[in-house]
């Protein structure tokens, strides 16, 4: 082999072939990331990945599809049994808890809106939240009892910046964000 193989993408290096300029996988598997290609190859196979790329007409969708494939393969490497499903389940549970929290807060807002302006209303009991005219278990015990893979719900109002930081800057060209 010639010195040209050092510039080969990770896919071509793995398959021990010359990386041609029209190689469809070179933009997704740079030569310095062979483990990423190995994960994708193990889970999907080269033929299936090329078939997926062939069936997608829009280049932006190809990039999104490959990002998804690479993510799933890397998560499957980290979590062989469920892949990224455990994260999806944890985030779905978190969304459900946040929806319940939002309903409770909206109920409290509605309670205060319905009070006359000159009256000082007695707020709902602090030991329970008012949700659809029924008392709900207080979040301090209900939400703190929820825990899945390190994600933990906490009181009625939770600072989600700790779990999901808001990006300070988003680079539209590379679809990356900086915190």
Q: Which domain holds residue 67?
A: 3-78
Q: How confident is the model at residue 62 (pLDDT cuts 50, 70, 90)?
A: very high
For residue 170, pLDDT over 60 is answered with: no
Same domain, residue pair 65 and 90: no
Tell me whether residue 25 is exposed, middle or buried, using C-beta atoms within 10 angstroms of its C-beta: 0 to 12, 13 to 18, 19 or more: buried
Same domain, residue pair 99 and 49: no
Cα distance between residue 14 and residue 23, in whole Å: 14
| pLDDT value of position 144 | 41
Note whether residue 120 is domain-resident: no
Same domain, residue pair 66 and 89: no
Same domain, residue pair 91 and 132: yes
Count of alpha carbons within 13 angstroms of residue 35, beta-carbon side: 6
How many CB atoms neighbour CB 36 within 10 A? 18
Six-digit token string for 112: 């205060």
**SS3 label, residue 148:** strand
Quick: pLDDT tens for 64-93. Answer: 999 999 999 999 999 999 888 988 999 999
pTM listed for this prediction: 0.54
Domain tally for the chain? 2
Same domain, residue pair 64 and 35: yes
Note whether residue 72 is domain-resident: yes
As a whole number, the mean pLDDT across the chain is: 75
Q: Which of 88, 84, 77 is nearest to 39 (CA)?
A: 77
Note whether residue 14 is domain-resident: yes
Note whether residue 177 is domain-resident: no
| pLDDT value of position 122 | 63
Quick: pLDDT tens for 119-143. Answer: 666 655 544 454 444 444 444 443 3
Note whether residue 103 is domain-resident: yes
Note whether residue 37 is domain-resident: yes
Q: How confident is the model at residue 7 (pLDDT cuts 50, 70, 90)?
A: confident
Q: Rounded to whole angstroms, what are the CA distances from 177 to 64, 69, 166, 167?
A: 16, 20, 9, 6
Note whether residue 167 is domain-resident: no
b (16+ CB within 10 A) / e for 73-112: bbbbbeeeeebbeeeeebeeebeebeebbeebeebbeeee
């Amino acid at each position: 082999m010639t010195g040209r193989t050092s510039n080969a993408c990770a896919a071509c290096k793995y398959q021990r072939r010359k990386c041609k300029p029209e190689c469809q996988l070179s933009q997704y598997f740079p030569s310095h990331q062979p483990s990423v290609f190995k994960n994708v190859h193990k889970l999907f196979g080269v033929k299936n990945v090329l078939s997926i790329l062939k069936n997608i007409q829009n280049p932006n969708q190809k990039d999104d599809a490959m990002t998804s494939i690479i993510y799933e393969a890397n998560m499957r490497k980290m979590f062989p049994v469920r892949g990224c499903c455990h994260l999806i389940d944890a985030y779905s549970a978190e969304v459900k808890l946040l929806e319940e929290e939002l309903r409770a807060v909206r109920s409290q807002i509605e309670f205060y809106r319905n009070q006359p302006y000159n009256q000082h209303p007695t707020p709902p009991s602090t030991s329970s939240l008012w949700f659809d005219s029924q008392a709900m278990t207080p979040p301090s015990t209900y939400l703190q009892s929820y825990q899945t893979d390190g994600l933990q719900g906490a009181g009625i109002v939770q600072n989600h910046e700790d779990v999901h930081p808001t990006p300070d800057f988003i680079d539209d060209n590379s679809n990356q964000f900086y915190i």
